A and B are shown apart, each in its own frame.
Chain A
């Protein structure tokens, strides 16, 4: 995975939230962004990886710029999604 920095406009913390909440909250946040701006979503739900992929495949106004997986200091797996508003 490339580590090029992404210019993030807004952060969304959905740690602990389960399907479908991460997608719903991300939609609400992305509606507040301008076209071209990027939302960074931090989730703990492993299902969110495929969910954000599916959303980006289906919707014409969202681009999934990158997905990362990392671990926080307590050992909790974190799934990070970068979404750009396209329209």
Chain B
């Protein structure tokens, strides 16, 4: 009699233990899936990063790009700036003609060199407008483009020059400011994909 009861109890306990094991296994599997999902979401979540494409070589537009870049860097964002086509002018430090083909020479001569030589997109009046804007900025204690560019470098902003545009315009790395990296679309997209803010100027 007692033996029969014990046998029955033991069978029930075994059944419960089996059930318990199965539930544990299913919970472990779900936990594993959830962990994998969290990892994936973390990888995809944007960082505190700002990526800016600077295509324009207009003083006013490049100025806007650098106000945003320096402001973002000060706020704690990692900032990357990608300079393409006319935007490369802002990064140029000199003109080199030697070894270039005639079309490259023409581009080199007809595009401005450096922040100081960019023209306004509107009301430039062959440089007079730009001069007046600079005067106004100085008097109103607004930082010049050159100052903002230096600040951006001090704040650790990443400068990338588009290699393809450099090739098109015949600009060599020696003509660009020191510390400027070169890269392509994937360099931009790698940073842009991680960014909370992306701008095209």
Contact = CB atoms under 8 A, between A and B. Distances in A.
Nearest to A23: B74
Nearest to B77: A58
Interface residues of B, number: 15
Contact of A24 (B71, B140, B141): B71
A23 B75 contact: yes
A75 interface: no
Interface in A13-41: 16-21, 23-24, 26-27
Given A20-B70, A24-B70, A24-B151, A55 B141 contact: no
B75 to A, nearest CB: 5
A24 B76 CA distance: 10
B67 interface: yes
B16 interface: no
A23 B71 contact: yes
Contacts of B109: none
Contacts of B140: 18
Interface residues of A, number: 17
B169 interface: no
Given A16-B141, A18-B142, A24 B67 contact: no
A59 interface: yes
Interface in B163-179: none
A69 to B, nearest CB: 20
Nearest to A18: B142
Interface of B: 48, 67, 70-71, 73-76, 140-143, 148, 151, 155
Interface of A: 16-21, 23-24, 26-27, 51, 54-55, 58-59, 61-62
9 contacts: A19-B71, A20-B71, A20-B74, A23-B74, A24-B70, A24-B155, A26-B74, A27-B75, A62-B76
